[in-house]
């Protein structure tokens, strides 16, 4: 199982790479992506997270575990502890997005960044993403709210972009005109 020792930390240069397209969805790739998803599931289980010292995460991109592959996992539980969003995406692409912007009022963090970096991270309010699933089947996700934010945070990792790159240096806590907070 993946633990925090497997998570690459800033300023490791791999976090600034543009990850490579996956040409063939081989067994190793599928196993690696399943392990990334398993980290998220484990990190949201209080007992397991405590036992292995896992920082909770709702998304994880391959470069964060040292893999130069365009793939990511998202696992967000609902109030009932069941999976509300559960995705393993291969070669994901943003097909379209809203002009309107959103942000998490509490700002963002990152499993690859140990220190807190305050500031609002403005993202598209809605995104349409296409990808392949682990069976190689095309999927399309229309996301808004927290899922849209998490998706964009992980997609940024595949292009070597860190959340703090998107914090305004002059007015880090100032919402942009027209931007709406994620409820
Ligand atoms: O990619 C990562 O480092 C995992 C982040 C993703 C993320 C951070 C902030 C906003 C959206 C996505 C971890 O999930 S940080 C922990 C976390 C947990 C619940 C909600 C938001 C962030
Ligand atoms: Ni991150």
The 10s digit of each residue's pLDDT in 61-72 is 999 999 999 999
Q: In what order do the strands lie in the sheet with 71-77?
A: 59-61, 71-77, 83-97, 126-132, 138-144
Residue nearest to atom 10 of ligand 1 (CA): 108
State what percent of residues in the chain have pLDDT above 90: 97
CATH code of residue 125: 3.90.45.10
Global pTM exceeds 0.85? yes
Return the structure tokens found at 173. Answer: 């806590």
Tell me how far the alpha carbon of residue 73 lies from the centroid of ligand 2, in angstroms.
12
The domain tally of the chain equals 1
| Ligand 1, pocket residues at CB < 6 Å | 56-61, 104, 108-112, 149-150, 153-154, 157
Digit-coded pLDDT (tens) for 85-113:
999 999 999 999 999 999 999 999 999 99
What is the three-class DSSP state of 44? coil
Would you state the pLDDT for residue 102? 98
Digit-coded pLDDT (tens) for 14-46:
999 999 999 999 999 999 999 999 999 999 999
Rounded mean pLDDT of 169-174?
A: 98
Range of the domain at 40: 4-181
Please tell me which residue in 24, 154, 169, 174 is annotated as part of the active site: 154
State what percent of residues in the chain have pLDDT above 70: 100
Is 154 a known active-site residue? yes
Q: In what order do the strands lie in the sheet with 180-181?
A: 123-124, 101-103, 180-181
Q: Look at the block and give the residue holding tokens 């990808």.
A: 131
Rounded mean pLDDT of 41-63?
A: 98
Would you state the pLDDT for residue 87? 98
Rounded mean pLDDT of 154-167?
A: 98
| pLDDT above 90 for 163 | yes
Residue 117 gets which letter from DSSP? -
> How far lies 31's CA from each of 55, 57, 74, in Å?
21, 19, 15
Would you state the pLDDT for residue 161? 98
Would you state the pLDDT for residue 70? 99
Would you state the pLDDT for residue 81? 87
| pLDDT above 90 for 183 | no
For residue 108, give the ligand 1 atom closest to its CA: 9
Q: Which stretches of the chain are assigned E, i.e. beta strand?
A: 59-61, 71-77, 83-97, 101-103, 123-124, 126-132, 138-144, 180-181
């Amino acid at each position: 199982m993946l633990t925090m020792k497997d998570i690459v930390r800033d300023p490791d240069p791999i976090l600034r790479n543009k990850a490579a397209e996956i040409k063939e969805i081989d067994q190793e790739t599928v196993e690696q992506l399943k392990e990334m998803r398993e980290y998220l599931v484990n990190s949201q289980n209080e007992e397991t997270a405590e036992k292995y010292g896992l920082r909770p995460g709702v998304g994880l991109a391959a470069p964060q575990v040292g893999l130069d592959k365009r793939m990511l996992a998202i696992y967000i539980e609902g109030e009932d502890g069941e999976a509300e969003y559960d995705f393993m995406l291969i070669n994901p692409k943003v097909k379209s997005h809203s002009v309107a912007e959103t942000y998490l009022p509490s700002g963002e963090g990152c499993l690859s960044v140990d220190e807190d970096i305050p500031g609002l991270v403005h993202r598209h309010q809605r995104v349409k993403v296409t990808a392949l699933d682990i069976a190689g089947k095309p999927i399309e996700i229309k996301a808004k709210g927290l899922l849209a934010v998490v998706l964009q945070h992980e997609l940024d990792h595949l292009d070597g972009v860190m959340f703090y790159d998107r914090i305004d240096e002059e007015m880090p806590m100032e919402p942009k005109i027209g931007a709406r907070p994620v409820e």
